Each structure stands twice: as structure tokens, then as C-alpha cells.
Amino acid sequence: MRIATRESPLAMWQAEHVAGLLAELTERPIIVPMVSSGDVDMRPIDGKRSVGVFTKRIQQGLIDDEGDVAVHSMKDLPTEPHPDLIMVASPDRETVADCLVSPTGLKLDELRQAARVGTGSRRRAAQLKRLRPDLDVQSIRGNVQTRLQKMRDGEFDAIVLAAAGIERLEMHDLPRVELPLEMMLPAPGQGALAIEVRRNDSWASQIVSQINQPRSHACTLAERTMLADLHGGCLAPIAALATIDRSDKLTLKARVLSLDGKVCLEQSASCAIELDSSDWFDSAQELGKRVSETLIEQGARELIEAAR
């Protein structure tokens, strides 16, 4: 079995992680690194070039039979399904938090007035501006190591990174402060992996589906259903997090913001979910749709359109 992946250090870690899971079920897969357009084009991602910049090359690799399995960061995967591919698994989810990284590990309220903060995410930028309107939030591109070097070179006072990436790369000594979820709600699917195979490849589907974790899959399905119904894509300032408690209650909290952070719509809802039955899929989708409908009634579509 061949695993197609981006060749960034984080993507390679993710592919190796999935290979390890699959090695318990079949002969250990081989890794096939590929370069996506998002890895070589360092221009800021905008409305003209946003959907699939990190995933299209990997998906094409499956279609062209360069690989059998594609491993993506869930938050990078477009919500519109590919006609020739199917997502069959999402393993256990890593932490969903975002971290503020600075040379001395400052908290958000400790940053100087008008500090330069780098992020490639409009979701993060809008939530930062909501909390600290004085900040000079600027676009930053590149893998984790590239972004850190730009900060160390003095281009930024701080940057925002996903805690999952920091943990997976074992950068335990990195000076950072985890941003509470009340401050910084994650992107839909953040911290989770999405694993695709060719729709007609029953061999790969049968094996890979065995590493799916319904708890992770149900939560991210609710988040991504909400995102799809809002037609938000991966660019708009939309945040969401679904969780399942000990009583098997699925709760989805979502946030849609204006680019300057001055307007913030929030909505949450819950439903019972039975992970031991096949009904969890429908329950998660219905919850995502319910939250999106309420946000649309509050004016979410207008905010999203203004951000394009």
C-alpha cells in the first residue's frame, strides 16, 4: 500500500503515523511524498486561490495511481467531496487548540501595543482582532519551521500555530502559550486527519476504514457539515468545535466573524449520539445543519460573502 502525502515535516509525520496504524493490519505501507501548489506558492491565500491548494496534488496522485491512500490535515480538505475519492477514516484527534508563539512565550495581553502577529488564517486573524484590535496582524506562509524562522528574524513579534502540529513535531521547548477556546475557537476539523482512497478501490477501503475512530469522525463531520452549509470554504473566518461528553451528548459550538473581528456570531446546539450504531453519521450531519441554519438566520452568509 502506498501513502501519498505532502513532503513538509508535519505532513510526513502524519503519513508515518497513519503508516504505523495500517502496519498493524497489513504490510507496512510506503510513503510517497508530493509537492502541492500551496507548498511552493508563498503568496497570501485569498478568495481566488484558496480551496484545495494543499490537497489537490495529493488527490490527483491517487487518481493517477501514484498512491493508494491520501493523508490530509482535515482542516485543509475541501468540504465538497471529490467524485472519484472517498474519505474512509479519521483516526484519533490531536489537541484542537491554537498557540501564541513568541521568542519569550508572552501571553496575548502581554504583547506590546500594535505588535506584529503572523498567521495565514483569517479565522485566527479575526479572533485576534476581536480580542486585541490594536494588533498588526499580518499574513504569513510556509511550514512550521519557516514561520518560526521569520519570527526569529524579527519579522513578527509573535505567530499563531496549531498546538497539534507543535506536539506532532515534538517541539516541546518552543516558547508558547495555549490560547483558551473562549478566545480562539479552532477551525473545523483542526487537529484531525482525513484519509482518502479511490472510490472504486475496495481493497484499500476495507483496510483503511478499520483505523477510523467514530468519536473523532462524528465531531469533525458535524463541524464540516456546518461549514459546507455556510459555503464557507477553508478561507472564511469561521470557527467550530464539536465534542462528545461521557453521556454521549454531541455538542457543536460555532463562530462566524467579520474580518476585523468587530462582528461575532455564535451558536451552539447538542444532540444525543450513539457511536455503537450506524446512526451517528446522520446525527452528526443533522446537528451541523441545525447550527448552520441558525447562523444563517443571524446573518452569517453576509459576513462570509464580505470576506471573499
Query: DSSP assignment of 227-265, as one string?
Result: HHHTT-TTTSSEEEEEEE-TT-EEEEEEEEE-TTSS-EE
Query: What pLDDT shows up at residue 113?
Result: 98
Identify whether 66 is part of a domain.
yes
Q: 226 or 233, which is more confident?
A: 226
Residue 142 pLDDT: 85
Which grid coordinates belong to 92? 484519533
Residue 115 included in any domain = yes
Q: In terms of domains, do 65 and 202 share one?
A: yes
124, 86: one domain: no
Domain containing 134 equals 98-179
Share of the chain above pLDDT 70, in %: 93
73: three-class secondary structure by DSSP: strand
Whole-number Cα distances in Å, 235 to 33, 124, 197, 305: 25, 11, 25, 11
pLDDT at position 213 is 96
Backbone angles phi and psi of 236, in degrees to 5: -65, 155
Q: In this structure, what are the phi and psi dihedrals at residue 241, rounded to the nearest 5 degrees?
A: -150, 125
Q: Is residue 186 part of a domain?
A: no
CA distance 82 to 210: 21
pLDDT for the residue numbered 36: 57
Distance CA 227, CA 224 (A): 5
Average pLDDT over residues 297-306: 92
pLDDT higher than threshold 80 for residue 91: yes
What pLDDT does 17 receive? 96
76 and 202, same structural domain?
A: yes
Which phi and psi (to 5°) does residue 301 adopt?
-60, -40
pLDDT, position 308: 77
Q: How confident is the model at residue 8 (pLDDT cuts 50, 70, 90)?
A: confident
Domain assignment present for residue 185? The answer is: no
- The answer to whether residue 234 scores a pLDDT higher than 80 is no
When comparing pLDDT for 306 and 241, which is higher? Answer: 241
Q: Using an 8 Å Cβ cutoff, are 205 and 115 in contact? A: no
pLDDT at 186 over 90: yes
Answer yes or no: do 263 and 124 share one domain. no
Same domain, 268 and 197: no
**Which residue, chain included where needed, has cell 483569517?**
122
pLDDT of residue 53: 60
Which residues are part of the catalytic machinery?
Answer: 76
Q: How far apart are CA 211 and CA 191, in angstroms?
A: 16
Residues 197 and 236 in one domain: no
| Structural domain count of the chain | 3
In this structure, which amino acid lies at residue 253? K
| 175/198 same-domain check | no
For 66, the grid coordinates are: 501514484
Q: To the nearest whole percent, how much of the chain has pLDDT over 90?
A: 81
Residue 102 forms part of a structural domain: yes
Are both 207 and 282 inside the same structural domain? no
pLDDT mean over 194-207 = 97
**Residue 184 belongs to a domain:** no
Asked if the model's pLDDT at residue 232 lies above 80, the reply is no
What's residue 231's pLDDT? 87
pLDDT band per the 50, 70, 90 thresholds, residue 48: very low
The reply to whether 68 and 104 lie within a common domain is: no
Amino acid at 195: I
Average pLDDT over residues 126-147: 94
Q: Please state the pTM of the whole predicted model.
A: 0.89
Q: Which three cell numbers stand for residue 258?
A: 467579520
3-state SS class at 206? helix
Provide the H-helix boundaries in 23-161. Answer: 37-40, 56-63, 122-131, 144-152
Q: How do the residues of the chain divide into helix, strand and coil, expressed in percent and rounded to 5?
A: 35, 25, 40
Regarding beta strands 69-73 and 2-6, do their DSSP bridges make them parallel or antiparallel, or are they unpaired?
Answer: parallel
The answer to whether residue 275 is domain-embedded is yes
119 shares its domain with 76:
no
- CATH number, residue 274: 3.30.160.40
Examine the pLDDT at 57 and tell me if it is beyond 90.
no
pLDDT of residue 55: 85
Residue 281 scores a pLDDT above 80:
yes
Q: Which of 97, 90, 120 is nearest to 166 (CA)?
A: 97
Q: What is the mean pLDDT of residues 92-102?
A: 95
Cell of 151: 519570527
251 beta partners = 243, 270
Residue 83, pLDDT > 70, answer yes
Task: Calculate the CA dihedral of residues 298, 300, 301, 302 and round it to 10 degrees.
Answer: 90
**pLDDT value of residue 43:** 42
Q: What number of other Cβ atoms are within 10 A of residue 229's Cβ?
A: 19
Q: How does residue 233 score in pLDDT terms, banded at 50, 70 and 90?
A: low
CATH number for position 196: 3.40.190.10
- Average pLDDT score over the chain: 91
